[in-house]
Chains A and B, each alone.
Chain A
Amino acid sequence: MSAVPEKRHIPDRLGTSVTRLFASWEALLVAVAAVIFIANALASPYFLNAWNLSDATFNFTEKAMVAFAMALLIIAGEIDLSVAAIIALASTAMGAAAQAGVGTPGLVAIGIGVGAGCGMINGILVAGLRLPSIVVTIGTMSLFRGIAYIVLGDKAYGGYPASFAYFGQGYVLWVFSFEFVLFAALAVLFAVLLHATNFGRRVYAIGNNEFAARFSGIHVERIKFTLFLLTGLMAGIAAVCLTSRLGSTRPSIAQGWELEIVTMVVLGGISILGGSGTIGGVVIAAFVMGLVTFGLGLLNVPGIVMSIFIGLLLITTITLPIIIRQFGHRKSA
């Protein structure tokens, strides 16, 4: 607590120009999504089909579930790079349990439980021991996936019970898959949590000025711990959906997802420096990324080339506002 708070311009209320910027950011995202949608419809005659569009949602629902929690974490000024490894470990645990004859409810509990446990470990290391989250989660990332590799090596788990397939392959109503409905429900839940509760305000406060938040009586460590736990939990839920959809587990499952999830969050207008952004933005960003990858898939673009587009998307979405702001500064100066 001996550090000197740094000089920073803090408005007494959220400025209208800031809210307008984010309103326009989300408007821009919707426009991008619309353009991609129309381009896809023109590029492929098979695109505009209810079942085809339903299939397209599987591209992003699992990642988006984790992205909601990651959004809160990034708003609070932390990051979790171990999410994909948590998915791998939770999936491995479910696979081992399925081999031992555990039923579907037990498998779901194990998947979510392992996820929450991993999140708790991250939380203890970052919030409890006050370590920098980037390095800690790089460490736990290789630890969690490393354990999956020790358990599985070059083998794979299969043989999940038939009823387990519902989470990744079942449909609630007509073309609306269980995953999509869960994604929508979680989006609403996280939007309420972030935008309409005390907890959400505290997350913003920590991200904007952790120092001031502490002096305002906010339990910074407790909230950070909760956020890591929540992120682990969501990774566990994503692991249940993904494992159920694929029907098998390899230690390399969900490899590289941490990048796509962070990209989704940042594309959604959440500042990587913390303190600002909305869940609505992340939801639209999820659709944008899902449509881009699905459209490229329809055009037979290989996966690794798609990842170039994701990387470019990440860098341009972060660069663009900064360039615009720099031009603005120069004009006013």
Chain B
Amino acid sequence: MIKQLFKFREMLLVVIIAMLLAVFSARSPGFAKPGNLANIFNDTSILIILALGQMTVILTKSIDLSVAANVAFTGMAIGMLNAAYPAMPLALIILIALGTGAVLGAINGLFVWKLNIPSIVVTLGTLTIYRGMAFVLSGGAWVNAHQMTAPFLQTPRQLFFGLPLLGWTAIVIVAIMYVVMSRTFLGRAIYASGGNPTAAVYAGIDVGRTRFYAFVISGTLAGLCGYLWVSRYAVAYVDIAAGFELDTVAACVIGGISTLGGIGSVAGAVLGSLFLGVIKNALPVINISPFSQMAISGSVIIAAVIFNARQERRRGRIILRDRGASEQIEVTA
């Protein structure tokens, strides 16, 4: 029955997104043309990838507010690397981006796993530290387009069947995450340790370790997005993706991922991201100031939280307070 409810939830989002597209294309014909839709999807790709990482963390009853800072640091690091060593192959650069992101995510994860510190506090702290490190690394300087090599900038723009490689990357990540979340032990452990940490411990799942892996996944995806972001906008500076962590949380909340943990799906996170992406791309088309986007996403988050709470109808505990589970972990340790 619960499964049907979520199918309903995702169908509802599909319908809402379709309606939005219909309304916007009524105002401006051509908005819903395949070419423009591919553009919107491509534009939303980075949000989709980051939202999937955020979803993994939120499912384990945690939150990762440092993703955008991770993007900024990794983006700056590989941007500078590319500028300093133009001969370095792109594959190696992407590997370094993934590794850097994974290390930053693992730092968050270690604090949450080994010291049982609430994830919101850890990631609020690392958010400023990672972005500060991007400043220390660059000295406040920018890496501009002319300093980057052509393969670094052009690869994500290659078109395949009308969609740039950036969009295809998102599709591949979505497919991988779908398999991981629904077909692997880790995926099921992630759901279990968020849905009922105490029961998960009794089922032989190491909740702390699972959270650690969730943070590593989120960090790795953020590292990948560091490369994608810098190559897409062809510039790296300290403030890139500032505040983007909120967009990823918003996408998850809109997609029906419960901030109490354990509830949510890959499809939900993707649809939540697309919802925000469609609105973002539609604002200029229907002549609304881009300055209003922040207030709109804020209102949508609040509406989605209210909607989720009504659907869940289940008493859970918020992310901050997790003493019961941590006590159980201590008992088993």
What is the interface of chain A, defined by CB distance below 8 A to chain B? Answer: 2-3, 6-8, 77-79, 125, 129-136, 138-147, 149-150, 153-154, 256, 259, 262-263, 266, 272-274, 302, 304-305, 307-308, 310-312, 314-315, 318-319, 322-323, 326, 329
Contacts and interface: CB of A to CB of B under 8 A. Distances in A.
Contacts of B294: 142-143, 145-146, 149
B126 A311 contact: yes
Nearest to B130: A311
A314 B124 contact: yes
Chain A to chain B: the 8 pairs with minimum beta-carbon distance, closest first: A146-B295, A143-B298, A146-B294, A142-B298, A139-B301, A308-B132, A311-B128, A6-B324
19 contacts: A3-B315, A134-B318, A138-B249, A146-B294, A146-B296, A146-B297, A147-B295, A263-B124, A274-B321, A302-B140, A305-B136, A307-B128, A308-B129, A308-B133, A310-B128, A314-B125, A315-B121, A319-B115, A322-B116
Contact of B246 (A129, A141, A262, A329): A141
Contacts of A305: 132, 135-136
Interface in B295-311: 295-299, 301-302, 305-306, 309
A78 B320 CA distance: 8
B111 interface: yes
B128 to A, nearest CB: 4
Nearest to B134: A304
Interface stretch (B146-154, B214-222, B285-293): B285-293
Contacts of B63: 134
Given A134-B319, A138-B249, A312 B129 contact: yes
Interface of B: 63, 111, 115-118, 120-122, 124-129, 131-133, 135-136, 140, 198, 238, 246, 249-250, 253, 259-260, 289, 291-299, 301-302, 305-306, 309, 315, 318-324, 327, 330
A311 B132 contact: yes
A79 B238 contact: no
Nearest to B135: A304
B303 to A, nearest CB: 9
A129 B259 contact: no
B320 A274 contact: yes
Q: Is the interface of B mostly helix, strand, loop or mixed?
A: helix
Contacts of B301: 135, 138-139, 142-143
Given A135-B253, A138-B249, 17 more contacts: A8-B324, A129-B309, A132-B260, A132-B318, A135-B259, A140-B298, A142-B294, A144-B298, A146-B297, A147-B295, A259-B127, A308-B133, A310-B128, A312-B125, A315-B125, A315-B126, A322-B117
Given A139-B302, A322-B116, A8 B327 contact: yes
Contact of A311 (B127, B198, B299, B319): B127
Nearest to B302: A139
Nearest to A154: B291
B295 A143 contact: yes
Given A149-B292, A322-B117, A136 B320 contact: no
A136 B305 contact: yes
B291 to A, nearest CB: 4
Contacts of B302: 125, 136, 139-140, 143
Given A139-B305, A262-B124, A308-B136, A273 B323 contact: yes
A232 to B, nearest CB: 16
B128 A146 contact: no
Contacts of B111: 315, 319
A321 to B, nearest CB: 10
Contacts of A77: 320-321
A115 B314 CA distance: 32
A82 to B, nearest CB: 9
Nearest to A258: B124
Contacts of B297: 142, 146
Nearest to A251: B291
A134 B132 contact: no
A204 to B, nearest CB: 15
B118 A273 contact: yes
A2 to B, nearest CB: 7
Contacts of A2: 315
B128 A8 contact: no
Nearest to B107: A315
Given A7-B327, A146-B297, A146-B298, A272 B291 contact: no
A281 B292 CA distance: 40
A311 B131 CA distance: 11
B324 A7 contact: yes
Contacts of B327: 7-8
A324 to B, nearest CB: 11
A304 B246 contact: no
The residue in B117, B128, B296 that gathers the most chain A C-beta atoms within 10 A of its C-beta is B128
B254 to A, nearest CB: 11
B72 to A, nearest CB: 11
A318 B116 CA distance: 10
